Structure 1
């Protein structure tokens, strides 16, 4: 089994490398195909040369520090949003009136543009990590909530009937039957939410904290430092692909350990 898991992890990393190659090919193809102005646009090779240039040590340090801040902001926000959504979905599964009361409220809040909410969030929670966590958590919360709630209710009726016939409590049934069944939906929602958490962190940095890659890109556009801007965009794209890959690997390890019956991928 360990050999199979290692093979899947390598396949996941290989898929990430292939994704990067496809993105670079499409990127360069758009620049060449549309004849975009080389003064304003940079291709993958331009960004690569910029990043490895020995004279750009200060730029690399600046990008690394901004990347570290954004990665922290996105991961903390994603973790908070996922935990909150999973807890809320569990409450929905146990107490149906709670779902009927709160789900419409959650969907109404989801309809409010995040850009409109950001100044209010900054006013309430300040301009530090807490406000970034709230913003990144919000964009993570809703896809996880909807997917996990549906998965917890999608357990086959015979399995629930069997647990009731055996006298199992709703909590035992939730833990032993519904949660393992919902794990694939949880990880699928996290894969969707990962890029959204990065976007939420960038938005918060742009509008509230004045730190990280979001603010660095805003500064680069303002001062017309296009090499820095394209390098920052490349880092964000690579981080999204990497985060997606890491979640996919964690999904395979978790399902193999806790819900092997839900792991239907070929070995």
Structure 2
């Protein structure tokens, strides 16, 4: 039964990913046609030539994927920092209303203020290295993940809370043994949202702070009117974001089929 549920979940995830890719491709073609400026708007053929069939395709591809590697590293740092902070803070919020009244306003302020406005202060405090990437990308991840995880933790069964308390368990035992397992769907929903968010945060950090990766490469190429390179960089990072989202969805299917509330059912 679990294998059947996993198969259905993976098939659904692959179908959704294929649909999104087709929609992005069609939107791309439509935008190019509407702009009707071959110098600025580059279509699929132009990007394919830049990356695969042109004379300098090997060098172009090597440069693009080198920048992509930097961006994926930065996104992983921001994702890890933001998700760990969200999980720890969500647990603290569920255990203490006082923590919630302190943390949530700060989290909302960080979400409301544009990151570009906070960037000079972040760079001043943390420099232009990995710490700045972790902070900027982590801020993008933190708030939506925190809200989703808190909602999931609070959705656990009150009857199960009472059972743990009857057997001498503390509020912390309830959090670890009841609330977190019940929050798995919300946790994975937060992960799916945070994966592209972490990449966006990494791109912003590269542009405003580190001067490396796709975030900086796009701005640099645009400033030099290297429009084929701009479009290739954008398309590559978009496709990778979709693939990582799909990977998170497939991982969610496996984990929930084994450990979720419907584990073992058809």
Q: Confirm or deny a common fold (TM above 0.5).
A: yes
2:51 is matched with which residue?
Answer: 51
Unaligned runs of 5+ in 1: none
2:136 is matched with which residue?
Answer: 135
Please show how residues 66-215 of structure 1 align to structure 2 within 5 Å: 66-215=67-216
Instruction: Give the TM-score, by structure 1 length.
Output: 0.91
**Structure 1 range deviating more: 94-103 or 182-191:** 94-103
CA contact under 8 A between 1:252 and 1:263: conserved in structure 2?
Answer: no
- Tell me the alpha carbon deviations over residues 161-201 of structure 1, each in whole angstroms, 9 at most, x when there is no partner: 33333332212211121001111111111211222211111
Unaligned runs of 5+ in 2: none
Q: How many Å separate the matches in 2 of 1:61 and 1:211? A: 15
CA contact under 8 A between 1:137 and 1:197: conserved in structure 2?
Answer: yes
Q: How many Å separate the matches in 1 of 2:98 and 2:168? A: 23
Please show how residues 233-244 of structure 1 align to structure 2 within 5 Å: 233-244=234-245
1:4 is displaced (CA, Å) by: 4.5
CA contact under 8 A between 2:94 and 2:150: conserved in structure 1?
Answer: yes
| Length, aligned pairs only | 264
CA contact under 8 A between 1:181 and 1:262: conserved in structure 2?
Answer: no
Instruction: Give the TM-score, by structure 2 length.
Output: 0.91
Q: How many Å separate the matches in 1 of 2:89 and 2:147? A: 10
1:137 is displaced (CA, Å) by: 0.7
1:244 is displaced (CA, Å) by: 0.8
Taking a change above 3 Å as real, the CA distance of residues 153 and 228 of structure 1, as seen in their structure-2 partners, is same
Q: How many Å separate the matches in 1 of 2:172 and 2:220? A: 51
**Structure 1 range deviating more: 104-113 or 244-253:** 104-113
CA contact under 8 A between 2:35 and 2:41: conserved in structure 1?
Answer: no
* 1:167 alignment partner, SS class: coil
C-alpha RMSD of matched pairs (Å): 2.0
2:41 is matched with which residue?
Answer: 41
* 1:38 alignment partner, SS class: coil
1:15 is matched with which residue?
Answer: 16
* 2:183 alignment partner, SS class: helix
